[in-house]
Amino acid sequence: MDTHVPDWHLLRAFLAVVREGSLSGAARTLATTQPTMGRQIAALETSLGVKLFTRSIDGLSPTEAGLRLIPSAEAMAAAAETAWRLASGKADEARGTVRITASEVIGGEVLPPILAGFHALYPQITVELVLSNRNEDLLRGDADVAVRMVRPSQVALVAKRIGKIDAGLYAHQHYLKAHPIPLCLHDLHQHALIGYDRNPAHSRMIEMMGVPLTHAMFAFRSDSDLAQLAALRAGFGIGASQLGIAKRDRNLVPILHNELLFSMDVWVAIHPDMRNDRRIRLMFDYLVRELTHYARTSHHKV
């Protein structure tokens, strides 16, 4: 064994202190005691020969050496989680844990009923769902299955294109009782619009679509897609929704769909080493089938 490699328990303690900002908070997270956390941090600093934290009025802050250690410690944490998931069930058994990553809207609005159906069929498989608009790294082991709105950039992944999902503008009936339905894109200037806050990706997408909207026009701003959808349902103003989601609510009225719609590809991907693991393959095939059905309901018919 390489004595220069720190014990994983010490690195786990280090990450807990980074995330919680104190020994007491880290101790609660790891179900241990504050003195134990202090000894583990001291042992790690001795092993590495550097100081990892400094004290301030806000708690413990990583030093420059501590900041350099964070990415490696997080990679080891992801690897440890992957190893646990793999060890939680045999490759040919329908039991264990499957970790899925998906965008906020897909994960929060589309997947829950799908995963409920999966759980009814395979109750021995535990599901972990990560909602993030950031593409998790399947090759590094951040997740087992990914549902993505863009084609996976990592060519080694096993990926299946589901189809296209359309999205357009909607307004709630309550909002339209007090405001006229816009008849053209220019009329949007007279309405309360729901849109992005600081995320430049949203701005670039609007520019690529050639839509005459600017950040200043949004009366409700949030970079959370779920928050925007909640504001739309609350009758705040006009905002975007996937067609398949909006069709579930009779109070949501389509706005200018003949002039403005945008489409997104949907992909389901897994790590190539996972394709023969039964529980992960069961989840992959189930998501492909159910999301294909969802995509059909989320497509604009002229």
CA nearest to 85, candidates 277, 267, 272, 275: 277
Query: What whole-number distance in Å separates Cα of residue 284 and Cα of residue 291?
Result: 10
- SS3 at position 254: strand
What pLDDT score was predicted for residue 2? 46
Residues 150, 19: one domain? no
Residues 173, 257: one domain? yes
Per-residue pLDDT 10s for the chain (302 aa) are 445 556 778 888 898 898 888 888 888 888 888 888 889 899 988 888 899 998 877 788 889 988 888 888 877 777 666 666 555 555 556 778 898 989 899 999 999 999 999 999 999 999 999 888 776 555 455 778 989 887 776 556 778 899 899 999 999 999 999 999 999 888 888 899 998 887 766 655 555 555 666 667 889 999 899 999 999 999 999 999 999 999 999 999 999 998 888 888 899 988 777 767 888 889 999 999 999 999 988 876 65
Has residue 91 been placed in a domain? no
Phi, psi of 194 (to 5 degrees): -110, 125
Residues 259, 283: one domain? no
DSSP H helices in the chain? 8-20, 23-29, 34-48, 64-87, 104-105, 111-121, 173-178, 200-209, 225-233, 243-246, 278-297
Strand ranges in 149-282 using DSSP code E only, listed in sequence order = 158-172, 193-195, 218-221, 239-242, 252-255, 261-270
Considering its fold, how many domains does the chain have in total?
Answer: 3
What pLDDT score was predicted for residue 110? 95
What pLDDT score was predicted for residue 4? 58
Determine the structural domain holding residue 290 and report its residue range.
Answer: 96-162+265-295
Residues 197, 121: one domain? no
Residues 143, 186: one domain? no
Residues 149, 187: one domain? no
Q: With beta carbons less than 8 A apart as the criterion, state whether 106 and 146 touch.
A: no
